């Protein structure tokens, strides 16, 4: 989970808990207020009941006294007294009605009964006052039933109301206790949840940060293969870790490239040193023969004995041959260095590749005989005319044929030329032999200028290992290519592909 | 000195030239073209001194020297390395392979004769 999400979640949770607390508080006060009002009504009703009871009692006493007075005297009540009495009765009626307003629904039945009986009682008393001055009026106020009934109903109502007041008070207590409990629980839960969320937030974030720190330390100390992969965070910290990993990947690739470049530079340097050592070795071999024979002939000339002229001439020829070999070697080295420094130029002319190939085949005849090899070069006449460097062309094939001869004994050498269908106007010339062949590894190195042939091979077959490097460079210079296919013991095939004009490949490229 | 010299050299010109010069110096010379031939000839002909080119086909000079030093029949025969490798490292590698002395091509012939004299006397 992302850091932002975690923070949002924590905040939302805390807000929800807070609103629950506030809601509980409001609900509690509302419930308390409601119960409080009911309680207040009950108290008011109780007061009213007491008043009504008092008033009824007083009125009854008054009426009983009046009744006794009426029985024993002829005193009349004047209008003023009657009006006052009626008003008092009406007031009692009003009080009872008020009692009805403040009474709870639960006490409705009791109130109705009270109203009924009080109506009867008050009507009786009103009848008493109405008929007081009339001598024919027969008073019935001595009958206690209506009063007692009303009084009893009033008491019942009072009791009922007192009971409800107690009930209300209990409810208020309970509501307060409940809301208090909910508030406290909510508060504690808020604190606990906030703390828990905070703890996990800090812990996860801290753990991820620790992993990141360790990762950067490892990467910083050079362990570029280290991956920060133990971050269980798909958010910002995970992204940061991924960015670190990517950085370390890129660094590692860069380091790899640099070390590869350094290695190949080291390799090139080592190859150059080896090349120089080999050049020195190759120069010393013909020099050894030249100096050795010269010194020997010098000694022979100063001898008293008669000179064997034929032998002397042969030895001189050996000196000349070694000198030429030395010259060839030096020329090869110079050619290679010219190519390496980009100073080798092409001298293009129009020529028939078939003609030059035939010349090269003729020139190799002595070497063929020496090693008893057969040369086959079927029909070289139908090839397209080339506009390219004829001298380099000749050198390449003289070299390839001489190589084929060098590594083949009592075998066959084939020169096969054609115009490849996929490159009209180009020529493809293959020089096949049935000689010793090469392993895959040797084939990879065979065109390398600074990689000398294996020491035992060069010891066996001679050569400086420069010929094929020059061939490859010349072919590329002429806009073409050279490739080899071979198997140990089954011979080698060198195939040269050349354009009719070196410019053609430049345009194509 | 008495006894034959075994000249091990794969290059035909150099072999011919050295053999003839050694002959002219009055030494009896037999020749071999590779390391294996050299070991066979050392066993059969028991030469007094071996002149060994190091770059040889079939078995190179270093290997041949090591074999010679392990073979009690021929381990006493002194070997002078003869090579166109001219560096100190090449010289050391020849001596480590068991050669008694070392001469660089092109060969200083009078110097070579002195070396042959020296190694044959010390054995």
Domain boundaries along the sequence of chain B: 4-122
Instruction: Classify domain B4-122 by CATH number.
Output: 3.40.50.2300
Supply A146's token pair: 């209506």
Q: How far apart are CA A402 and CA A362, in angstroms?
A: 12
Nearest-angstrom CA–CA distance, A23 and A7 = 24
Phi then psi for A111, rounded to 5 degrees?
-65, -45
pLDDT value of position B5: 93
Structural contact between residues A465 and A336, judged by C-beta atoms closer than 8 angstroms: no
How many CB atoms are located within 10 Å of the residue A211 CB?
A: 19
> Rounded mean pLDDT of A430-437?
92
Distance of CA A259 to the CA centre of its chain: 29
- Determine how many CB atoms are found less than 10 A away from the CB of residue A195: 10
Query: For tokens 């063929």, what's the residue?
Result: A368
CB–CB of A332/A464 below 8 Å?
yes
Distance from the Cα of B77 to chain A's closest Cα (Å) equals 25
CA distance B87 to chain A (A): 8
Mean pLDDT of A401-410: 90
Percentage of chain B surpassing pLDDT 90? Answer: 54
Report, as an integer, the average pLDDT of A276-298.
87
CB contact under 8 A, A290 and B85: no
- How far off is chain B from A410, nearest CA to CA, in Å? 19
Instruction: Give the pLDDT band (50/70/90) at residue A331.
Output: confident
Answer whether residue A451 shows pLDDT above 80.
no
Nearest to A281 among B18, B60, B84 (CB): B84
Please report which confidence band the pLDDT of residue A458 belongs to, taking 50, 70 and 90 as the band edges: very low
Condensed to tens digits (0 to 9), the pLDDT of residues A123-152 reads: 888 888 888 888 888 777 778 888 888 889
Asked if the model's pLDDT at residue A15 lies above 60, the reply is yes
Walk me through the domains of chain A, giving residue ranges and CATH numbers: 3-201 (1.20.120), 235-343 (1.10.287.130), 345-508 (3.30.565.10)
pLDDT of A459 over the 50 cut: no
Percent share of chain A, pLDDT over 90: 20
DSSP string, chain B: --SEEEEE-S-HHHHHHHHHHHHHTT-EEEEESSHHHHHHHHHHH--SEEEEESS-SSS-HHHHHHHHHH-TTTTTS-EEEEES--SHHHHHHHHHTT-SEEEESSP-HHHHHHHHHHHHHH-
Nearest by CB: B17 against A282, A293, A460: A293
Q: Calculate mean pLDDT across residues A89-99.
A: 88
H or E segment at A416? strand A412-418
- Look over chain A and give the mean of its residue pLDDT values, rounded to a whole number: 84
Show the 3-state SS of A262-302. HHHHHHHHHHHHHHHHHHHHHHHHHHHHHHHHHHHHHHHHH
Q: How confident is the model at residue A352 (pLDDT cuts 50, 70, 90)?
A: very high
The model's confidence at residue A349, banded by pLDDT at 50, 70 and 90, is very high
Residue A450's pLDDT band, with cuts at 50, 70 and 90, is very low
Chain A residue with CA closest to B107: the answer is: A288
Report pLDDT for A247.
Answer: 87
Angle between helices A79-102 and A3-72 (to 10 degrees): 150
**pLDDT 10s digits, A359-383:** 999 989 998 998 899 999 887 888 8
> CB under 8 Å to B22, separation ≥6 — which residues?
B5, B7, B29
Three-state SS at A45 = helix
Please confirm whether the linkage preceding B106 is cis (ω < 30° from 0). yes
pLDDT at A493: 94
Contacts of B56 in chain A (CB under 8 A): 459
The answer to whether the complex's ipTM is over 0.85 is yes
Phi, psi at residue A11, to the nearest 5°?
A: -60, -45
Of A135 and A213, which is predicted with more confidence?
Answer: A213
> Which position has the higher pLDDT, A280 or B31?
B31
Looking at per-residue confidence, does A325 or B63 come out higher?
B63
């Amino acid at each position: 989970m992302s850091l932002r999400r975690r923070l949002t979640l924590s905040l939302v949770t805390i807000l929800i808990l807070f609103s629950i607390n506030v809601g509980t508080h409001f609900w509690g006060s509302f419930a308390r207020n409601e119960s409080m009002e009911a309680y207040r009504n009950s108290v008011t009703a109780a007061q009213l009941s007491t008043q009504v009871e008092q008033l009824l009692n007083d009125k009854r006493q008054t009426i009983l006294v009046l009744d006794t007075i009426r029985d024993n005297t002829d005193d009349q009540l004047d209008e003023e007294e009657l009006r006052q009495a009626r008003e008092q009765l009406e007031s009692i009626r009003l009080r009872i009605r008020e009692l009805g307003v403040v009474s709870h629904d639960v006490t409705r039945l009791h109130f109705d009964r009270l109203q009924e009986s009080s109506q009867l009682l008050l009507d009786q008393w009103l009848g008493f006052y109405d008929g007081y001055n009339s001598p024919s009026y027969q008073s019935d106020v001595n009958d206690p039933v209506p009063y007692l009934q009303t009084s009893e109903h009033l008491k019942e109502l009072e009791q009922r109301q007192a009971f409800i007041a107690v009930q209300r008070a209990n409810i208020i207590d309970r509501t307060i206790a409940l809301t208090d409990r909910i508030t406290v629980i909510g508060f504690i839960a808020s604190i606990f949840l906030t703390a828990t969320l905070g703890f996990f937030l800090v812990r996860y974030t801290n753990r991820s940060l620790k992993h990141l720190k360790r990762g950067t330390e490892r990467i910083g100390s050079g362990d570029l293969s280290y991956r920060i992969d133990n971050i269980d965070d798909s958010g910002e910290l995970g992204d940061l870790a991924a960015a670190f990993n990517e950085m370390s990947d890129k660094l590692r690739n860069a380091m790899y490239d640099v070390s590869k470049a350094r290695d190949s530079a080291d390799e090139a340097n080592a190859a150059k040193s080896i090349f120089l050592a080999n050049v020195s070795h190759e120069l010393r071999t013909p020099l050894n023969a030249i100096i050795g024979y010269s010194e020997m002939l010098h000694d022979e000339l100063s001898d008293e004995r008669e000179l064997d002229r034929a032998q002397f001439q042969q030895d001189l020829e050996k000196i000349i041959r070694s000198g030429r070999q030395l010259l060839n070697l030096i020329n090869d080295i110079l050619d290679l260095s010219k190519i390496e420094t980009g100073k080798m130029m092409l001298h293009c002319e129009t020529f028939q590749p078939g003609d030059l190939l035939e010349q090269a085949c003729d020139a190799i005849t002595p070497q063929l005989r020496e090693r008893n090899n057969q040369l086959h070069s079927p029909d070289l006449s139908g090839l397209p005319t080339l506009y390219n460097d004829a001298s380099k062309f000749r050198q390449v094939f003289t070299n390839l044929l001489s190589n084929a001869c060098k590594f083949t004994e009592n075998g066959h050498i084939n020169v096969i030329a054609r115009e490849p269908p996929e490159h009209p106007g180009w020529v493809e010339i293959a020089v096949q032999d049935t000689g010793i062949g090469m392993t895959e590894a040797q084939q990879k190195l065979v065109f390398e200028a600074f990689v000398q042939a294996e020491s035992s091979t060069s010891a066996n077959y001679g050569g400086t290992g420069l010929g094929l490097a020059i061939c490859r460079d010349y072919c590329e210079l002429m806009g073409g290519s050279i490739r080899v296919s071979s198997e140990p013991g089954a011979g080698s095939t060198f195939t040269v592909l050349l354009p009719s004009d070196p410019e053609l490949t430049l345009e194509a490229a | 000195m008495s006894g034959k010299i075994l000249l091990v050299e794969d290059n035909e010109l150099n072999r011919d030239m050295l053999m003839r010069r050694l002959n002219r110096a009055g030494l009896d010379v037999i020749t071999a073209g590779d390391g294996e031939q050299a070991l066979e000839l050392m066993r059969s002909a028991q030469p007094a001194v071996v002149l060994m080119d190091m770059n040889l086909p079939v078995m190179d000079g270093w290997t041949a020297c090591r074999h010679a030093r392990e073979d009690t029949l021929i381990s006493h025969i002194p070997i002078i390395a003869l090579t166109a490798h001219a560096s100190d490292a090449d010289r050391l590698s020849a001596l480590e392979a068991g050669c008694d002395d070392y001469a660089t091509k092109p060969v200083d012939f009078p110097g070579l004769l002195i070396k042959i004299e020296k190694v044959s006397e010390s054995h």
